[in-house]
Structure 1
Amino acid sequence: MKAATKEKILSQVKAWDYMKNLPEQMHGFNYVLLMEEKGDVLDLYRYENKEAHRSITVYYHEETSEYKLRMRIGLTEFCVIEYIYAELEAFQEILQERCSGLLADMQTFNPEHITSIIHDKKIMQWDYKKKLPETFAGFRLFITPDQPVRIINGSYIVFDYSDFTSKSNFIIYYNVFRNEFFGESRIFDIPEVSYDFDSHELQELINKLDVKLFPYLQEIRTRIDSK
């Protein structure tokens, strides 16, 4: 980050009463003051629930000259597009209006905030959850189909097997725009796309999961242990 940009943002934040008066806790999340520079990003503060592996981080992005908010669910982190503003005053307004509700939804699943397409697809009523053990090959079932998580670009996490110690996981997503299920793994925090689970209908996905899911998880575990 350029010295002039950093000086400008630090000056704005120093006078930002909203940030000074944030509560220490909100909906089970703890406030953490950051003020950490990472490349062209200056992280300002975070609300985190370490036990639940969830957090939000408020930051300034020099590349786009905007204040932003990114969300972390397990090993998945992304910028929430509703919270992108060039002016601090407008950014504060959206934080005041929505941030508490955002944290509440991260703490307690709210089916009312799930798009009707997911409801129509019957993903939340999908009984395949019964076939998903709580643990397998060192992975823990972190997200389940009855409580999908909306991320970006029209995608939802349907289920997530994670090993937080090695920063590795396997996720099945559903994208509402493409009407497509697909898989992605992360090994030592490096994402890898898998085309083995691409499907348009639940039954098609089930057929592939029945054959490939557990061997795939075991393959990831073997790769982790070989490092």
Structure 2
Amino acid sequence: MPQIQNSMPDIIRVMVVAASPVIRMGLAAMLDDSPKLTVIKSLADIDSFSEEIVQLQPDVMLFDWNESNYELISHSSQFIFATIILIDELEDIDLGALLAAGIKGILPQNSAELTMIAAIEAVASGLVVLYPEVINNLQLQKESISHGKIDTNQIKTLTPREIEVLQLLTSGLSNKAVAQQLHISEHTVKFHISSIFQKLDVSTRTEAVAVGMRLGLIML
């Protein structure tokens, strides 16, 4: 019987990307403690070092996700290497967009050391790693579609957070007010509204609310 070849390298070469120097140093130190991993580079962001990333050819990228990174999900070339993201608010993510961008793992930022190391080893061997809460949020998105009888051939799925933002738009709240209500930044609110417009194929808040009501996404 032929033996199955294990594609995982003997030593997994990891690149750490985190805007915070404290988080960056902490992740690198934690991973270097594992005999199976070696951190080849720690970066503050992806955009500034995209050429260096290609040159170094990491086996896995561990990426501390934050609100300023949301626009990156549409740039799949950024994730040509197996990438795990650590994210604070799992409800904010659009799972389909992340997977389409080449993300191979999604974990909470407060994941335990053993969980992160196990996820890196799994992704390095070609697997996709999703934390249970990610699966639960995906199920909520599916239930929203089912409840509203949305034709998924016509629009993309709104995330639970985008539905919350859309609901608040019915009250005519400003971006600042929406941000205060949801305890997120105005930058994140702007991103969510832009995403809502794109997914619902509208260009104004009024149109978004009208379409949302018609699809059963929001209630007055």
Which TM-score band (shorter chain)?
Answer: 0.3 to 0.5
TM-score after normalising by structure 2? 0.33
Higher helix fraction: Structure 1 or Structure 2? 2
TM-score after normalising by structure 1? 0.33
Higher strand fraction: Structure 1 or Structure 2? 1
If asked which structure has higher relative contact order (CA below 8 Å, sep 6+), I would say 2
